Amino acid sequence: MLSVSIVGGSGYVGGELLRLLLGHPHVEVRQVTSERLAGQYVYSTHPNLRGRTDLRYSPQSSLEPCDVLILALPHGSAAKNIEHYAGLGQAIIDCSADFRLREPETYSRWYGEKHPAPHWLERFVYGLPELYREQIRTTRYVSGVGCNATAINLALLPLVKAGLIDQTKPVVAEVKVGSSEAGAVANDGSHHAERAGVVRSFAPVGHRHTAEIMQAHGLENVHISITSVEMVRGALATCHVFTKGAVNERDLWRAYRAAAAEQPFLRIVHDRSGLHRHPEPKILAGSNYADIGWALDENTGRVVALCALDNLMKGAAGAAIQCLNLMHGFEETVGLEFSGLHPV
């Protein structure tokens, strides 16, 4: 059994990690930390785990060595203490943005401050198995991927791999997101009477995930907007891409099939009829699937590339467990078998 501890376990990613690890056949959850809630049962904040575990939160000061340390901390915390964490965990999976970018300069430009541990950037592998599976298998350090970045990364993946994108034209990517993306701490903007039913331009320009997407795919002309909609979990990326030369449905089927082959969590959704012709996040709540699909406007050469996922699963905790599985030679899908619900 692999011993795994979660640092920062009281947030939504922490809760989801815990749910997955408690059901994972090869894992024993050693500790879950929270400074504020030390001593309390984890189910006080993760009520779905009532009856599932008697674990209580520990303070970070009591952290013991373990096989894998998963960091689910606010951005900036992991990098500041990475040496300390590396001394405790044989392997580290960091869910924050701290180790996603390879170049310290890129980090400074997008995050507005110097990286506190720049020499660690190259030790971390970007935790997107669909792009870096082999590197993840052999590394001890994996960084998480931004939830919106994952949605855009996977939406664009088939087109990038097939070389279909006309890079002289802008790629415009809109992500519609649920409220869980903003985390578990209440604020004025999350107040239900204000947040319910909104279509709110949360980050119409300047979203930091732009940097990691351009890095992952080697693209430069990518423009992102994030819009909050009525939903708790889930994200849908709608990416407007213009193709190099004329492209038809068969070309796209070929590109998508090639991209999805041997990817256990990529499903192609592109049906001619029915309600679920395109990817949709709502049926993915709790599942690790990323559903990808497209619509083609042959007259204009625009492809609308779509990806739906659960931001707390494939966008965060699920991807982390998928990496954990790869790093330890487990079946890639173990502990991640939940199919999602319908209707929901």
- Residues flagged as binding site for NADP(+): 10-13, 311
- Total residues in contact with its own copies, by rule CB under 8 A: 90
Active site residue 239: no
- 130 token code pair: 């669909």
Residue (198 or 219) nearer to its own copies, CB: 198
Q: Does 196 bind its own copies (CB under 8 A)?
A: yes
Q: Does 272 bind its own copies (CB under 8 A)?
A: no
Q: Which stretch binds its own copies (CB under 8 A): 26-34, 71-79, 96-104, 165-173?
A: 165-173
Q: Does 339 bind its own copies (CB under 8 A)?
A: yes
- 303 token code pair: 């492809």
Q: Min. distance of Cβ 216 from its own copies in angstroms?
A: 19
Q: Residues 6 or more apart from 284 whose CB is under 8 A from it?
A: 234, 291, 308, 309, 310, 313, 314, 340
Angle between helices 104-111 and 209-217 (to 10 degrees): 150
Q: Min. distance of Cβ 321 from its own copies in angstroms?
A: 15
Q: Min. distance of Cβ 76 from its own copies in angstroms?
A: 22
Q: Which stretch binds its own copies (CB under 8 A): 69-77, 81-89, 124-132, 333-341?
A: 333-341
Q: Which of 66, 95, 147, 323 is catalytic?
A: 147
Q: Does 238 bind its own copies (CB under 8 A)?
A: yes
Of 51, 85, 42, nearest in space to 66 by CA? 85
Q: Min. distance of Cβ 242 from its own copies in angstroms?
A: 7
Tell me the CA distances in angstroms from 67 to 3, 53, 90, 335, one per residue in order. Answer: 5, 20, 5, 18
Q: Which stretch binds its own copies (CB under 8 A): 89-97, 99-107, 233-241, 243-251?
A: 233-241
Residues within window 300-329 making contact with its own copies, judged by CB under 8 A: 300, 302, 304, 306, 308
CA–CA gap between residue 65 and residue 163 (Å, rounded): 45
Contact flags string 38-77 toward its own copies, x per CB under 8 A: ------xxxxxxxxx-------------------------
Q: Residues 6 or more apart from 236 whose CB is under 8 A from it?
A: 151, 175, 176, 279, 280, 281, 306, 307, 308
Environment class of 179 (CB within 10 Å of its CB; exposed 0-12, middle 13-18, buried 19+):
buried
Q: Which residues pair with 306 in a beta bridge?
A: 238, 293
Q: Does 227 bind its own copies (CB under 8 A)?
A: yes
Label each residue of 72-127 as H, E or C. Answer: CCCCCHHHHCHHHHHHHEEEEEECCCCCCCCCHHHHHHHHCCCCCCHHHHHHCEEC
DSSP symbols for 5-27: EEES-SSHHHHHHHHHHHT-TTE
Q: Does 169 bind its own copies (CB under 8 A)?
A: yes
> Are 175 and 226 spatial neighbours (Cβ–Cβ below 8 Å)?
yes
Residue (98 or 310) nearer to its own copies, CB: 310
Residues within window 143-162 making contact with its own copies, judged by CB under 8 A: none
Q: Which stretch binds its own copies (CB under 8 A): 1-9, 79-87, 130-138, 287-295?
A: 287-295
Q: Min. distance of Cβ 245 from its own copies in angstroms?
A: 16
Residues within window 85-124 making contact with its own copies, judged by CB under 8 A: none
Q: Does 29 bind its own copies (CB under 8 A)?
A: no
Q: Does 297 bind its own copies (CB under 8 A)?
A: yes
Active site residues: 147
